[in-house]
């Protein structure tokens, strides 16, 4: 038995390490009191992040990454594009100073030439492909072209009519640039780099795009977006945008260029008019995105084909101009503490930024009360949660409502299951929080205020978003809010199973 356990742990650890390579982070530069390169590397190592993207080729940062194995994307800033595009010697000098001087000690894997040039610096669009070719030629001369790829990140705004994805195409204004660019990527085996921001798509849709669809939250089957041409079902904006890019390339007869998402994220704070830039939404989006990527879910067009993705971004950029949200995309503060605790139980060690391990499962407030009741009944019944504290006169009876009682039961189950992935879902009516829901004498399991150790008995599975069971009659405990009619119907259903 012990040998089997060791084998399982070895396989699990190996799996986690292989998964980690799919997620990276962007490291911005507009940060007051930016941590030293050594501190940055230490944070990345502590979070098991082995991919980063830099917006320049900073010498001290590249030296700090030496011998760490971390895969690094370095960048040619937009302001250097013109010079590089006009001179092979200038490009060769850039590669000598910023690549050859550090490789292979520093594991540089990609050179990003410019950033969103077509949409943010359109007057430089005509020289973009020339710059790419000159950098590639310099790599060939240095015998580094097989180890290091050359590409350029694009805003997803270059794609028009992105839904349905099968009808998407690149803005034809840019055909004189896009077509030779795709030919270059295809000939060099380089990926199309794409920045994907469901946050902006959601905000700019004026309510047309549901928030849950932008956040990777579970949707009912009839709420999923269906591409009428392919009959592919889309459960989130991210996949729809990535597939739109695949279809746009195929429209131009390019079908074998992979996509790497160089930026994606959600702001955790916004100004008075930025209502959806919240910690909860940022946590939900990034947690779900990371899980989606490391599970190698792929997209409806390319299921099982992992899309390497770089989270925007590692630190909040407090010096960045623009609205409040622009300063608050980071996962961490500059002192190394997390802006919020990602909900990644069971996802391996990557970005395990819960330094306190204090997470709780609570009931969502704006959900169907009947679904809450059914999930509560399940937790206190087949889920084998001790719900005695919810009985009248006990410490957690007040407030006597289904949200409060469900929160206690859901959290008890979540803690009992070791905060395992999927143990705080209950068909979408529960969510993880870092705020201790204990109140007064009602101390929740998992709270620092409690010394209680919950037993890990039979591992009954909580109703998940994919479950066909919304709840069962409590086996050991009848909750005061239980519906008699619901109980009768469920008994009848069980008899005929």
Known catalytic residues are 116, 263
Residue 76 three-state SS: strand
Comparing C-alpha atoms, which of 98, 97, 41 is closest to residue 64? Answer: 41
Question: What is the distance between the alpha carbons of residues 265 and 168, in angstroms, rounded to a whole number?
Answer: 23
DSSP 131-196: HHHHHHHHHHHTT-TTT-EEE-EEEGGGEES-SSGGG-EE-GGGHHHHHHHHHHHHHHTPPEEEE-
- Burial readout 149-182 (b: 16 or more C-beta within 10 A, e: otherwise): bbbbbbbbbbbeebbbbbbbbbeeebeebbeebb
Contacting residues for 465 by C-beta, under 8 A, at least 6 apart:
218, 425, 427, 428
- Burial readout 132-141 (b: 16 or more C-beta within 10 A, e: otherwise): bbbbbbbbee
Question: What is the distance between the alpha carbons of residues 235 and 303, in angstroms, rounded to a whole number?
Answer: 13
Backbone angles phi, psi at 279, to 5 degrees: -60, -45
Question: What is the distance between the alpha carbons of residues 18 and 29, in angstroms, rounded to a whole number?
Answer: 29
């Amino acid at each position: 038995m012990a040998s089997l356990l060791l084998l399982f742990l070895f396989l699990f650890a190996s799996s986690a390490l292989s998964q980690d390579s799919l997620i990276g982070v962007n490291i911005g530069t507009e940060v007051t009191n930016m941590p030293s390169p050594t501190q940055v590397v230490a944070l990345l190592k502590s979070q098991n992040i082995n991919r980063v993207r830099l917006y320049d080729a900073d010498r001290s940062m590249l030296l700090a990454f030496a011998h760490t194995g971390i895969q690094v994307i370095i960048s040619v800033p937009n302001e250097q594009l013109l010079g590089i595009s006009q001179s092979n010697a200038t490009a060769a000098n850039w590669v000598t100073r910023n690549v050859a001087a550090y490789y292979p000690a520093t594991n540089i894997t990609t050179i990003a030439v410019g950033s969103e040039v077509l949409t943010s610096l359109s007057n430089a669009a005509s020289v973009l492909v020339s710059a790419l070719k000159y950098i590639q030629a310099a790599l060939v001369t240095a015998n580094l072209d097989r180890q290091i790829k050359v590409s350029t990140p694009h805003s997803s705004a270059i794609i028009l009519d992105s839904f349905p994805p099968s009808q998407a195409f690149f803005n034809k204004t840019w055909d004189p640039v896009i077509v030779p660019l795709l030919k270059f990527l295809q000939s060099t085996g380089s990926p199309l780099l794409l920045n994907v921001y469901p946050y902006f798509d959601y905000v700019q849709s004026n309510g047309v795009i549901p928030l849950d669809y932008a956040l990777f939250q579970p949707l009912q089957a009839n709420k999923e977006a269906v591409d009428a041409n392919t009959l592919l079902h889309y459960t989130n904006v991210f996949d729809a945008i990535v597939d739109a890019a695949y279809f746009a390339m195929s429209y131009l007869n390019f079908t074998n260029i992979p996509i790497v998402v160089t930026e994606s994220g959600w702001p955790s704070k916004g100004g008075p008019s930025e209502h959806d830039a919240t910690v909860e939404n940022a946590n939900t989006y990034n947690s779900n995105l990371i899980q989606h990527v490391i599970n190698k879910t792929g997209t409806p067009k390319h299921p099982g084909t992992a899309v390497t993705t770089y989270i925007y971004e590692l630190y909040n950029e407090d010096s960045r101009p623009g609205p409040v949200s622009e300063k608050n995309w980071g996962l961490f503060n500059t002192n190394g503490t997390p802006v919020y605790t990602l909900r990644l139980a069971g996802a391996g060690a990557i970005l395990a930024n819960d330094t306190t391990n204090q997470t709780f499962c609570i009931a969502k407030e704006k959900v169907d009360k009947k679904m809450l009741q059914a999930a509560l009944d399940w937790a206190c019944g087949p889920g084998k949660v001790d719900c005695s504290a919810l009985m009248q006169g006990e410490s957690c009876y007040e407030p006597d409502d289904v949200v409060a009682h469900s929160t206690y039961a859901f959290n008890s189950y979540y803690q009992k299951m070791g905060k395992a992935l999927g143990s705080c879902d209950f068909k979408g009516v529960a969510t993880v929080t870092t705020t201790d829901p204990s109140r007064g004498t009602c101390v929740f399991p998992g709270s620092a205020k409690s010394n209680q150790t919950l037993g890990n008995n039979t591992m009954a599975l909580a109703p998940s978003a994919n479950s066909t069971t919304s709840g069962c009659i409590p086996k050991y405990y009848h909750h005061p809010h239980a519906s008699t009619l619901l109980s009768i119907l469920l008994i009848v259903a069980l008899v005929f199973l």
